Copies of this chain bind each other. A is one copy, B any other.
Amino acid sequence: MTRLADVARAAGVSMSTASRALSRPDLVASDTRMRVLDAVQRLGFQVNPAARALTSGKTGLLAMCVPTLSNPYFAPIIAGAQQTAEAADRHLTVVVTEGSARREAEVLARVSRQVDGFIIVAPRGGDADLLEFGATTPAVIAERVVPGLASVVIDTPAGLRDLMNVLKADGHRRIAYLSGPAGSWMDALRCDALRDSLGDGGELSVIGPLPPTFRAGVEAVEEILERRATAVVAYNSLLAVGAVYQLRNVGVRVPDDVSVASADDLAALGLGAPEITTLHFDPAALGAAGVDMLVQLIDGREPEVPHVRIPAHLRVRSSEGWAAAEG
């Protein structure tokens, strides 16, 4: 493998000059820089990341910590993050916590020596633990707000308030919420937004906590019918699709008998049914913003916006309609 020393020799300069030409181009005369860059091209030189890491203390690796990959929700977030990381000449590594606070802590400790910083998505650990961790390692929180740490979230609650207004206007009073995974910070927020927004004029039945899966949606139908809800809001698309699947399976019409909506939108992944009312947003932007903030933290610049909020827009489709007359 060709080393920087080879480049320096080929370009007829010292190693330090060659090094500077790459890392601080503005500090070297333009013709010198060109000779170096030229030699780099010719020899196909690539820095040895280990050597760079040893002197600079930075590995060029960022870690994104997600609860699971079974939920495809995280796929476009990761894609956005990986793309942004590459643009910043870094590599993003994904680590999975399986939704357990203990495993989350283990994993963070395990890789913290290998990476420059973390984007922790929907963390399960307590605020105190996260703050302590963030004090020693650059970290950005996603899909949760921890006071004192940089964070980026989707503004689902605002979208859910819009949705609830539509449901109310359509005459819905008995609404079921298919809630998300136990311990999800976002789930609690969504539930509160729905309850506040529904107000005293209606009744919100919370079903769950539920795993955010198609099958859980299927299995929730029994309880939905028991509660005599005329509208269902699901934590995610898979739950919504599962519910519609099973509702039709048992002869309940959607939306004639029961309206269904989802708080996220996996339709872009082909995992939502085309007719289901959802909240739409740009998950890649979440990942990208997380990486941008993290890179700023690592480089020692304070991020300009320590808390980023990404908007969610209501898309009303045919799975939502007027409330059925009371049975």
Contacts and interface: CB of A to CB of B under 8 A. Distances in A.
A74 B71 CA distance: 11
A59 to B, nearest CB: 7
A69 to B, nearest CB: 4
> Which 4 A-B residue pairings sit nearest by Cβ, starting from the closest?
A213-B270, A50-B53, A69-B75, A93-B93
A91 interface: yes
A176 B241 CA distance: 24
Given A54-B50, A74-B69, A82-B96, A61 B214 contact: no
A92 to B, nearest CB: 9
Interface in A66-90: 68-72, 74-76, 78-79, 82, 86
Contacts of A54: 48, 50-51, 54
Nearest to A213: B270
Interface string A240-279: 0100110011000000000000000001011111100000
Nearest to A210: B270
Interface stretch (A108-116, A158-166, A167-175): A108-116
Contact of A214 (B60, B96, B215, B271): B271
Interface residues of A, number: 51
A46 B113 CA distance: 8
A319 B18 CA distance: 67
A75 B74 CA distance: 11
A238 interface: yes
Interface in A13-46: 46
Contacts of A245: 241, 244-245, 248, 273
Nearest to A217: B270
12 contacts: A48-B113, A49-B59, A49-B114, A61-B114, A69-B72, A69-B79, A79-B98, A91-B111, A93-B94, A213-B271, A244-B245, A248-B248
A216 interface: yes
A267 B216 CA distance: 11
A52 B186 CA distance: 41
B69 A70 contact: no
Contacts of A267: 215
A113 B72 contact: no
Interface in A89-124: 91, 93-96, 98, 110-111, 113-114
